[in-house]
Chains A and B, each alone.
Chain A
Amino acid sequence: MDKTVNHKAWFLVLPVLVLVAFSAVIPLMTVVNYSVQDTFGNNEFFWAGTEWFRDMLRDDRMWDALGRQLMFSAIILLIQIPLGVFIALNMPKKGFWVSFCLVVMSLPLLIPWNVVGTIWQIFGRVDIGLLGYTLAAIGIDYNYTSDPVAAWITIIVMDVWHWTSLVALLAYAGLKSIPDAYYQAAKIDQASRWNVFRYIELPKMMGVLMIAVLLRFMDSFMIYTEPFVVTGGGPGSTTTMLSIDLVKMALGQFDLGPAAAFSIMYFLVILLISWVFYTVMTNLDRQEG
């Protein structure tokens, strides 16, 4: 059968194009517009070229924030991925407890970001928070408002609490899709528990784990609300992540040009690192295959 060619059909996608234009393309272009111009008020703009970009690249403040951001993402990936897989491996495979576990696991995922932040902000307080008070009572010097290490531990534990479930649920879905015959064959072949994990479960989970790594990387790299609510980026600027810094620059200081240049580079870095992850992991997959 021949395909019907009717160019009028293009009009059918017009509503989507208009929506996407207003929700994404036009705002993005505004940012691009700001990044190459300067203003002294009165809504008058001057062409600045790549000035802001060069400025930002010379700015220690941005490099420090980027360093902290990379460290944060690396730490939470190193904790959440193995921990999520471990939890998934130990979840029941059938019966009543499956639904129980699934519901309990999804709960943190359903809580809004700022609420999570507030919960931990209060939880960790030395005067009234259960965690902070208990730690102080047993003699551990813990104060996330003055000690950078304590602040870092708090936001990392908070993120692990909030997002490990996602990794666990994805890994669990991957595990559930493995046919019984594989486990039976492994038993017949007298494979150890580790070998079952290494040669059956891990390879079969690779696909979902790749999605988990990408999601968790992108999300953690853009984290804003929770550390903002808990530490406000402090003490000093020790927990100031890229997005917190960006908001300070754009809305606190109203430096639109540098902030716009910063945004674009931020976006490109996320894109670049995600691409690297994706390429490396699919290659790994192919080599294994």
Chain B
Amino acid sequence: MAKITLDNLAHSYLTNPSGEADYALKELNHVWSDGEAYALLGASGCGKSTLLNIISGLLHPSKGRILFDDVDMTEASTADRNIAQVFQFPVVYDTMTVRDNLAFPLKNRGESPQYIAERVQQIGKMIGMEAQLDKRARGLTADAKQKISLGRGMVREDVNALLFDEPLTVIDPHMKWELRTQLKSLHNEFGHTMIYVTHDQTEALTFADKVVVMYDGRVVQIGTPQELFERPEHTFVGYFIGSPGMNVIPAAVEGMTASVHGAEIALREAFEPLRGKVEIGVRPEFVTLTDGNGLPVNVRRVEDVGRHRIVRADLFGNEINIVASEDTHISPEMTRVTFDPTHVNVYVDDWRQAGKAA
């Protein structure tokens, strides 16, 4: 187990990257604290897997260093780093039994046969495959194979970190929940540093203590699920987390007021004059549909999603979503919206701006 430090790390798949656009992973400084569970969240192709492969040593970064507990490991081989990694698609050793598959990493490390037998039995139980331990791995279904891959990832107790690269993609929903719970309890029990790559926000938010959101090769925000929800640092975080995502509306900001097509919205902070593309972001949860004062909207439809209702509306040509609780009465007279001022964020060129507290 180790603290993992990324120091000015960047990676390009080209041999001679010229501009920033050539980098699949843009310059990054980050410390993964020892024993914490992180989720790495982002759309497909944003550099998540690249980052993971650099940490495990499958990929050598173009720039920067990677340190385990302050020891430079940039040049160390994957084996020396002693990291476990589970990939998106199952990788099993076809000719081996399930038992031998699980034992393989331990055998390679020269553990005692007795320890291996015990540990494999334990892991077999954990992934729910005790009964199939002596079956050949080849004939199994994709999700059984992926469970074996997961098991192989968890079988070593002394790993520096456990990396999961969208490991539950091929698993059916019921088992997904079960395995995620297992991973969490494994984390609680052994305190491994875990990094869990996913593009599923529910998975990220339920699994991790801290969520790292990546966008276009860059880490745009690292925070607790709560922070990501209330203060998205980048409009991408706003869109990507939450269902539906944050409403982002072009606005002009002056002092403590934002104006959208002449309609004024109160802010919680005061801002200096801003340059660039100015927008305000407010989560649908903090928008209220009303028949009193507010900004005029055209309600297009109301969706009942069970626990609440989502109102899809139009505000000066911008699409706006409103989350209304189940017991709110929605009537045709409700053609205005109000925003909760404490939850309105201001963005310039997609990055959140901090104002001065009033």
Give me the interface of A with B, judged by CB distance under 8 Å. 179, 181-182, 184-185, 187-192, 195, 199-200, 203-204, 288-289
Given A188, A192, A288, which contacts B85 in the complex, CB threshold below 8 Å?
A188
Write 24 A-B pairs (CB below 8 A) sorted by A numbering.
A179-B89, A181-B87, A181-B89, A181-B91, A184-B53, A184-B85, A185-B149, A185-B152, A187-B57, A187-B77, A187-B78, A187-B79, A188-B58, A188-B78, A188-B85, A188-B105, A191-B104, A192-B108, A199-B93, A199-B96, A203-B93, A203-B94, A289-B136, A289-B139
Q: Shortest CB–CB separation between residue B205 and chain A, in angstroms? A: 27
B277 interface hit (Cβ, 8 Å): no
> A199-B96, A289-B138 in contact; A182/B108 too (CB < 8 A)?
no
> A199-B96, A288-B136, A289-B94 in contact; A185/B87 too (CB < 8 A)?
yes
Q: Shortest CB–CB separation between residue B59 and chain A, in angstroms? A: 9
Cα A289 to Cα B94 in complex, Å, equals: 6
A188 near B56: Cβ-Cβ < 8 Å: yes
- Ranked 3 nearest A-B pairs via Cβ: A185-B91, A289-B138, A187-B78
Cα A182 to Cα B83 in complex, Å, equals: 16
Cα A255 to Cα B231 in complex, Å, equals: 97
B301 interface hit (Cβ, 8 Å): no
Most B CB contacts (10 A, CB to CB) among A190, A191, A288, A289 go to A190
Contacts of A188 on B, CB cut-off 8 Å? Answer: 56, 58, 78, 83-85, 105, 153
B141 interface hit (Cβ, 8 Å): no
B109 interface hit (Cβ, 8 Å): yes
Cα A190 to Cα B106 in complex, Å, equals: 9
Cα A192 to Cα B79 in complex, Å, equals: 10
B95 interface hit (Cβ, 8 Å): yes
Most A CB contacts (10 A, CB to CB) among B53, B56, B57, B94 go to B94
Given A181, A190, A200, A204, which contacts B79 in the complex, CB threshold below 8 Å?
A190
Q: Shortest CB–CB separation between residue B323 and chain A, in angstroms? A: 40
Contacts of B136 on A, CB cut-off 8 Å? Answer: 288-289
Contacts of B149 on A, CB cut-off 8 Å? Answer: 185
Contacts of A200 on B, CB cut-off 8 Å? Answer: 93
Q: Shortest CB–CB separation between residue A124 and chain B, in angstroms? A: 43
A288 near B94: Cβ-Cβ < 8 Å: yes
Contacts of A190 on B, CB cut-off 8 Å? Answer: 78-79, 82, 105, 108-109
B58 near A184: Cβ-Cβ < 8 Å: yes
Contacts of A189 on B, CB cut-off 8 Å? Answer: 104-105, 108, 152
Q: Shortest CB–CB separation between residue B81 and chain A, in angstroms? A: 9
B91 near A203: Cβ-Cβ < 8 Å: no
Contacts of B108 on A, CB cut-off 8 Å? Answer: 189-192, 195
Contacts of A179 on B, CB cut-off 8 Å? Answer: 89
> A185-B87, A288-B136 in contact; A203/B58 too (CB < 8 A)?
no
Closest to A202 in B: B95
Cα A199 to Cα B96 in complex, Å, equals: 8
Q: Which of B92-108 contact A (CB under 8 A)?
A: 93-96, 104-105, 108
Contacts of A185 on B, CB cut-off 8 Å? Answer: 85, 87, 91, 149, 152
Cα A123 to Cα B57 in complex, Å, equals: 51
Known: A184-B85, A289-B95, A289-B138. 16 other contacts (CB 8 A): A179-B89, A182-B91, A184-B53, A184-B58, A184-B87, A185-B152, A187-B58, A188-B58, A189-B108, A190-B78, A190-B79, A190-B109, A195-B104, A203-B93, A204-B94, A288-B136
Cα A195 to Cα B100 in complex, Å, equals: 13
Contacts of B104 on A, CB cut-off 8 Å? Answer: 189, 191, 195, 199
Cα A203 to Cα B94 in complex, Å, equals: 7
Q: Shortest CB–CB separation between residue B72 and chain A, in angstroms? A: 20
Contacts of A289 on B, CB cut-off 8 Å? Answer: 94-95, 136, 138-139
Cα A191 to Cα B78 in complex, Å, equals: 11
Contacts of A288 on B, CB cut-off 8 Å? Answer: 94-95, 136, 138
Cα A187 to Cα B105 in complex, Å, equals: 10
Q: Shortest CB–CB separation between residue A244 and chain B, in angstroms? A: 42
Cα A137 to Cα B287 in complex, Å, equals: 97
